């Protein structure tokens, strides 16, 4: 077996700023790599996860003009949800418009779109709305935002694999209404007027995902997801989207997959991904003939698991 590909060395952005997108929102953006290289935009997960310097390292900096941005309300974008930013102007349509504002503002005609987890959801929605703007798609941990996927992860399915962690996730739900979906109960808790109640719910929601995202435990990552400012933004934004079913029609991303005709893509999927099970990646691949599916047999959901990273770097090298 050939050696696994590793991320490219760390680099710093050569340009960055805050994009005024309306609704009193400012979106942080940055560009690194080759100013004359092939444009690629990185769509982070969550929603609410934000970008980090390691996200630049999936791309050959000599070949790519690498665009990262923090979606509304999280990361370095303003106002931050942990500071009380309003979520009424934070929907999938808003984010798709923000991506287009960023593209045109940077003078980019077409670009590669790279996204994992919720980033794959947003990438598919963007490519289906603007297929003429997309050269390729690179997707990881596919999430189609169907009701079955929400139920699997937040209504007991994944808890069959992680019963100890599921018990912690369920701890704040003691006061749930009979028959109420956990996502909806958490929605009330995360917006409680009592800041202690909201923070307890945010940490439980965020660390559930942090603890189940990799095949093997990563306590340092769980600790990062439990940091109060991160957890409040991550949990409130993510829950907001899932409470509203992603502001998408049920099954929309598979229904409209024909709009990807002519767009090649690579799907990288961990075999033991509990957050976004492989069935969704398989369904997308079967419906999208121009896609290549790479199933990593010793990986879960996280992009920085060795086999996942290997295939992501291979994919961006293939398209450079």
Active site residue 130: no
Active site residue 117: yes
Q: Tokens for 1?
A: 């077996």
* Contact (Cβ atoms closer than 8 angstroms) between residue 48 and residue 71: yes
Name the region of 84 (left: φ>0; alpha: ψ -120 to 50; beta: rest): left
* Residue tagged active-site, from 117, 206, 280, 291: 117
Active site residue 273: yes
Q: How far apart are CA 156 and CA 251, in angstroms?
A: 21
Domains, the chain: 15-147+247-319 (3.40.50.1820), 148-246 (no CATH)
Ordered per-residue pLDDT tens for the chain, 320 residues: 579 999 999 999 999 999 999 999 999 999 999 999 999 999 999 999 999 999 999 999 999 999 999 999 999 999 999 998 999 999 999 999 999 999 999 999 999 999 999 999 999 999 999 999 999 999 999 999 999 999 999 999 999 999 999 999 999 998 888 889 999 999 999 999 999 999 999 999 999 999 999 999 999 999 999 999 999 999 999 999 999 999 999 999 999 999 999 999 999 999 999 999 999 999 999 999 999 999 999 999 999 999 999 999 999 999 99
* Residue tagged active-site, from 80, 187, 301, 310: 301
Per-residue model confidence (pLDDT) at position 109 = 98
Strand 64-69 with 25-33, pairing: antiparallel
Query: Residue 314 in 3-state DSSP?
Result: helix
Per-residue model confidence (pLDDT) at position 276 = 98
Q: Tokens for 143?
A: 């999430």
* Residue tagged active-site, from 70, 206, 273, 285: 273
Q: What does the CA dihedral 95, 282, 159, 206 come to, rounded to 10 degrees? A: -20
Three state DSSP letters for 161-198 = CCHHHHHHHHHHHHHCCCCCCHHHHHHHHHCCCCHHHH
Omega before 47 within 30 of 0, i.e. cis? yes
Per-residue model confidence (pLDDT) at position 111 = 99
pTM of the predicted model as reported, rounded to 2 decimal places: 0.97
Query: Residue 11 in 3-state DSSP?
Result: coil
Q: How far apart are CA 277 and CA 288, in angstroms?
A: 18
DSSP 2: P
Per-residue model confidence (pLDDT) at position 1 = 54
Q: Tokens for 263?
A: 């767009």
């Amino acid at each position: 077996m050939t050696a696994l590909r590793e991320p490219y060395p760390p680099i710093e952005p050569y340009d960055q700023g805050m994009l005024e997108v309306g609704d009193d929102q400012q979106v942080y953006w940055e560009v690194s790599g080759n100013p004359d290289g092939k444009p690629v935009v990185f769509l982070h997960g969550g929603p609410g996860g934000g970008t980090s310097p390691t996200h630049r390292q999936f791309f050959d900096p000599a070949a790519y003009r690498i665009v990262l941005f923090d979606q509304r309300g999280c990361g370095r974008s303003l106002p931050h949800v942990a500071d009380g930013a309003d979520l009424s102007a934070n929907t999938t349509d808003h984010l798709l418009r923000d991506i287009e504002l960023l593209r045109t503002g940077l003078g980019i005609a077409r670009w590669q779109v790279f996204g994992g987890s919720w980033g794959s959801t947003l990438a598919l929605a963007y490519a289906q709305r603007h297929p003429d703007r997309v050269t390729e798609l690179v997707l990881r941990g596919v999430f189609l935002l169907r009701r079955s996927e929400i139920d699997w992860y937040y209504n007991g399915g994944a808890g069959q694999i992680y019963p100890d962690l599921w018990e912690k996730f369920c701890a704040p739900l003691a006061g749930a209404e009979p028959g109420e979906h956990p996502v909806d109960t958490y929605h009330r808790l995360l917006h409680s007027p009592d800041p202690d109640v909201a923070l307890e719910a945010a940490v439980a929601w965020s660390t559930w995902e942090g603890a189940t995202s990799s095949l093997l435990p990563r306590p340092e990552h769980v600790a990062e997801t439990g940091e109060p400012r991160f957890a409040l933004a991550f949990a409130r934004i993510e829950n907001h989207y899932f409470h509203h079913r992603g502001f998408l029609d049920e099954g929309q991303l598979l229904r409209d997959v024909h709009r990807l005709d002519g767009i090649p893509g690579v799907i990288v999927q961990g075999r033991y991904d509990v957050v976004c099970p492989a069935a969704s990646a398989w369904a997308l691949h079967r419906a999208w003939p121009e896609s290549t599916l790479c199933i990593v047999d010793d990986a879960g959901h996280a992009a920085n698991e060795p086999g996942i990273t290997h295939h992501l770097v291979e994919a961006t090298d293939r398209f450079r």
